[in-house]
Chain A
């Protein structure tokens, strides 16, 4: 998967490149809008991440140029300005997502993966698995080591999300919006509590542990024993 980043702020650009490269993507980084547009038109990318405020050709112009040439790869905007008009403008021009600075890298990564997944249809599975944990989507049942585990509706949704995105660190905000449809940061540590309760049912009595807290970033479900 190849990603193009157009970001003029040196540190942001460098760390985005490093972070995404380490997450397994091939990343091209450029500081100028015109260079970015040139790269986007001459090379093949699966995703473009554009800063709105760029010297010379700004992010809007780069996006407009990309869309004019008929390329339909997903485009994500980064901006320091959180104005509704900007958001609307970006979406009208054909942007697929919009992140306001300061953002968490885990959030960006999660959204990048969501955008990349949108394109290719993964075969719809009826049973999700990790180690000896099984989640049956049709019968809405969860088993671990052959033992039935009773979950509430929200716990089931939470576990489904974690299983579908195994190995990805999911930030709290993403979990809140995907499972509870809550798009704001709550003052209360709702996600921590929900996660603790889920672990008590799914992980506490079993080995290996599957759900892990990544401090400062979020949660990940992975089978540490077979992680690369």
Chain B
């Protein structure tokens, strides 16, 4: 069995697939959220550090600008040291223009080149410096000492302020750890919840499956309950129900057909068996055997015809009868048929009349057979001495072919059934030697295969069969 729908990934259950999708989506959202939070916290810390550093820098700058000569730096450094008490983690380094240390806090052992390079950039950006395993955020600048009158003696002092980031980093580490744990936990929880939700959500589908399992060849009449299903599934169920209906009709037709076949073949087969076995029951003359074989041959011929007729109908039912369209002059076709039935009609003193003409696209052989069956039916049921009329009408809406005969009326309730297989208006004529009882059924199948329809009317002894076919321009 070939799969009708191919899936792009390996076959997973719908529940698993949806759960997996839930988890993926939730994890993605949580990760994004975590990233945003972590970034903003980090940024916040940076801003705090920056504020502290630039504040200190401004203070030192102000202090230094009030100093006239390098000698006055010493008292200032004492003052600076005092002001730094109670600011753990804040480091300050002052260098003179020769990069010698003027003042340094306990851990401020930064490389002078680093300070000078950063200071020379004259940007107000922080740099990250690492010293004995600690990371510092640092700000560096240079200050020209004020030297009133003696501009040439002016000296430059490099200032570096740095703050130990160990604290913040430790905080960020634990924060991120918590965040990842939370994301993982949330993903797992979403998975479990998603699975529960999906299972509950798909419950109608399982219910539908249980319903569908009830349907078997014997119980094709069972239908899925459309009203009790969610909208999306209701549509699916309705489509499935339609499919079941079509199957049911086809199945019924098939089993009817099978029983018809069995029934119709039973009589000739039983005749053949009886006749042959009786003939064999004792020695007979050659003439006797001859007669039996002749009778058998006739019976078998009849059966062979019935089989090919039934095969044609079976093919038509399955849409396998495809007309080979050709331009057909209807009047010519009817005239050929009238010539064929001429002798039979004359035998019954019937007059065959044709009026009108039409052209259409049709399968010549099939159309001939369809019309032949109608004509033969009309001739068989016409009153001796009456007239059988064939009227062709060509109009914009279609081409109609009417075959009218005067004879025994068909009761109104049987009019629809005359096209049924093996239908006989008079049940006492169980098996006429003439036909297989499939002629009109074949006519209808051929007309249907051509996109047309056929109907019968019977009034005051006038029976009228009318075929309507689509006009030549629209067909094909």
Contact = CB atoms under 8 A, between A and B. Distances in A.
Interface in A191-228: 193-194, 197, 215-217
B308 A100 contact: yes
A215 B341 CA distance: 22
Given A182-B340, A193-B347, A187 B376 contact: yes
Contacts of B311: 82
A188 B341 contact: yes
Given A215-B297, A215-B298, A216-B296, A186 B372 contact: yes
Given A102-B307, A216-B293, A187 B377 contact: yes
Interface in A133-173: 152, 154
A126 B377 CA distance: 40
Contact of A180 (B305, B322, B339): B339
A181 B340 CA distance: 9
A188 to B, nearest CB: 4
A187 B434 contact: yes
B203 to A, nearest CB: 48
Given A187-B380, A188-B376, A104 B301 contact: yes
Contacts of B439: 187
B105 interface: no
A185 B305 contact: yes
A176 B341 CA distance: 11
A80 to B, nearest CB: 10
A152 B303 CA distance: 33
Most buried by A among B340, B341, B368, B434: B340
Given A176-B340, A181-B336, A188 B305 contact: no
Contacts of A18: none
A82 B315 CA distance: 10
Given A186-B376, A187-B435, A193-B347, A215 B294 contact: yes
A187 B294 contact: no
Given A188-B380, A193-B344, A216-B293, A104 B304 contact: yes
A216 B147 CA distance: 144
A31 to B, nearest CB: 24
Contacts of A190: 340-341, 343-344, 376
Nearest to A189: B434
Contacts, number: 81
Given A104-B301, A154-B339, A184 B344 contact: no
A103 B301 CA distance: 9
Contacts of B235: none
Interface residues of B, number: 38
A21 interface: no
A183 interface: yes
Contacts of A100: 308
A186 B373 CA distance: 7
A182 B297 CA distance: 23
B436 interface: yes
Nearest to B298: A216
B347 to A, nearest CB: 5
B368 A182 contact: yes
A114 B301 CA distance: 22
Contacts of A189: 344, 434
B264 to A, nearest CB: 15
B47 interface: no
Interface string B418-454: 0000000000000000111001000000000000000
B436 A187 contact: yes
Interface string B286-298: 0000000111111
Contact of A184 (B339, B368, B380): B368
B300 to A, nearest CB: 8
Given A104-B304, A188-B344, A194-B343, A216 B376 contact: no
A148 to B, nearest CB: 21
Nearest to A103: B304
Contacts of B344: 188-190, 193
B337 to A, nearest CB: 8
Nearest to A104: B301
A184 B435 CA distance: 13
Contacts of A152: 342
A218 to B, nearest CB: 10
B379 interface: yes
Nearest to B340: A180
A82 B294 CA distance: 27
Contacts of A194: 343
Nearest to A188: B376
B244 to A, nearest CB: 30
A45 B379 CA distance: 48
B199 interface: no
Interface in A36-75: none
A192 to B, nearest CB: 9
A154 B338 CA distance: 12
B295 A82 contact: no
Interface centre among A102, A184, A187, A215 (most CB of B within 10 A): A187
Nearest to B290: A215
Interface in B318-343: 322, 336-337, 339-343
Contact of B373 (A187, A193, A216): A187
Contacts of A188: 341, 344, 376, 379-380, 434-435
A197 B346 CA distance: 10
Interface string A71-100: 000000000001010000000000000001
B369 interface: yes
A194 B439 CA distance: 21
A215 B347 CA distance: 22
A83 to B, nearest CB: 8
Given A102-B304, A216-B295, A193 B434 contact: no
A72 B434 CA distance: 42
Interface in A96-123: 100, 102-104
8 contacts: A102-B304, A103-B304, A180-B339, A181-B336, A184-B369, A185-B309, A187-B434, A190-B340
Given A102-B300, A216-B294, A216-B298, 15 more contacts: A102-B303, A104-B304, A176-B340, A182-B337, A184-B368, A187-B435, A187-B439, A188-B341, A188-B380, A190-B340, A190-B341, A190-B344, A215-B295, A216-B293, A216-B296
Interface pairs A-B: 9 shortest CB-CB? A216-B297, A187-B435, A215-B294, A102-B304, A184-B369, A188-B376, A180-B340, A194-B343, A193-B343
